[in-house]
Chain A
Amino acid sequence: MRELLQVQGLTKTFRLSAKQQKLEKTREKVRTAVDHLSFTAYEGEIFGLLGPNGAGKTTTLRLLATLIRPDSGDAMVDGASVVREPDEVRGRIGFLTSELKLEDCFTPNYLFNFFAGLHKVDPAVRDRRRQELFARFGIDKFAEVKVANLSTGMKQKVSLVVSIVHNPDIIIFDEPTNGLDVLTAKVVTDFLQQLREEGKTIIVSTHIFSLIEKLCDRVGIIISGKMIVCDTLDRVCGGMNLEDRFFDIYRETVGEAE
Chain B
Amino acid sequence: MRNGVLTIMKKELDRFFGDRRMVFSILMPGILIYVMYCFMGVAMGDAFGVDEDYTPTVRAAGLPASMEPLLQQTGFAVTAGEDEAAAREAVAAQTLDLLLVFPEDFDRITADYEVSSGLPAPNVEIYYNSAATSSAMAYQAVTGLLDAYEAQMVNKFDVNAGGGAYDLATVEDTAGSIFSMMMPLLLMMFLYSGCAAVAPESIAGEKERGTIATMLITPIRRSHIALGKILALAVIAMISAASSTVGTILSLPKMMGGLTDTVNAAIYGAREYLLLAAVILSTVLVMVTIISLLSAFAKTIKEAQTYAVPFMLLVMLLGISGMFGSSGEQGLWAYCIPLYNSVQCMTGIFSFSVLPAGVAVSLGANAAVTLAGVLVLARMFNSERIIFAK
A119 touches B219 (CB 8 A): yes
Of B4, B215, B218, most buried by chain A (CB within 10 Å of CB) is B218
A residues less than 8 Å from B4 (CB atoms): 118
Cα separation A67 to B216 with both chains bound (whole Å): 7
A101 touches B210 (CB 8 A): yes
Assess A110 versus B14: contact at CB under 8 Å? Given A67-B213, A103-B211.
Answer: yes
CB-CB contacts of B257-273 with A at 8 A, as 1s and 0s? 00000000000000000
CB-CB contacts of B8-21 with A at 8 A, as 1s and 0s? 00010011001100
B residues less than 8 Å from A103 (CB atoms): 15, 206, 209, 211
CB-CB contacts of A167-182 with B at 8 A, as 1s and 0s? 0000000000000000
A114 part of interface (Cβ distance < 8 Å):
yes
Cα separation A236 to B217 with both chains bound (whole Å): 32
A199 part of interface (Cβ distance < 8 Å):
no
B residues less than 8 Å from A100 (CB atoms): 210-211, 213-214, 217
A residues less than 8 Å from B215 (CB atoms): 118
A87 touches B3 (CB 8 A): no
Cα separation A114 to B9 with both chains bound (whole Å): 11
Q: Which residue of chain A is the closest to B18 with respect to CB atoms? A: A105
CB-CB contacts of B369-390 with A at 8 A, as 1s and 0s? 0000000000000101001100
Stretch at the interface among A88-96, A186-194, A204-212: A88-96
CB-CB contacts of A63-96 with B at 8 A, as 1s and 0s? 0011111000000000000000001101101010
Number of residues of chain A lying within 8 A (CB) of chain B: 30
Cα separation A69 to B218 with both chains bound (whole Å): 16
Assess A65 versus B209: contact at CB under 8 Å? Given A105-B15, A114-B11, A117-B3.
Answer: no
B residues less than 8 Å from A93 (CB atoms): 217
B residues less than 8 Å from A69 (CB atoms): 382, 384
B7 part of interface (Cβ distance < 8 Å):
yes
B28 part of interface (Cβ distance < 8 Å):
no
Minimum Cβ distance to chain A for residue B23 (Å): 13
A120 touches B3 (CB 8 A): yes
B18 touches A101 (CB 8 A): no
Minimum Cβ distance to chain A for residue B2 (Å): 12
A106 part of interface (Cβ distance < 8 Å):
yes
A residues less than 8 Å from B220 (CB atoms): 87, 118
Q: Which residue of chain A is the closest to B11 with respect to CB atoms? A: A114
B residues less than 8 Å from A106 (CB atoms): 14-15, 18
A101 touches B214 (CB 8 A): yes
Cα separation A114 to B7 with both chains bound (whole Å): 7
CB-CB contacts of B200-211 with A at 8 A, as 1s and 0s? 000000100111
B residues less than 8 Å from A119 (CB atoms): 218-219
B residues less than 8 Å from A105 (CB atoms): 15, 18-19
Within 8 A of B (CB), among A33-83: 62, 65-69
6 further A-B pairs in the complex, CB-CB below 8 A; given A100-B214, A106-B18: A87-B221, A100-B211, A101-B214, A102-B211, A119-B219, A162-B214
Residues of A near any B CB (own CB < 8 A)? 62, 65-69, 87-88, 90-91, 93, 95, 99-106, 110, 114-115, 117-120, 159, 162-163
4 A-B pairs with the lowest CB-CB distances in the bound complex, closest first: A91-B219, A101-B210, A118-B218, A68-B384
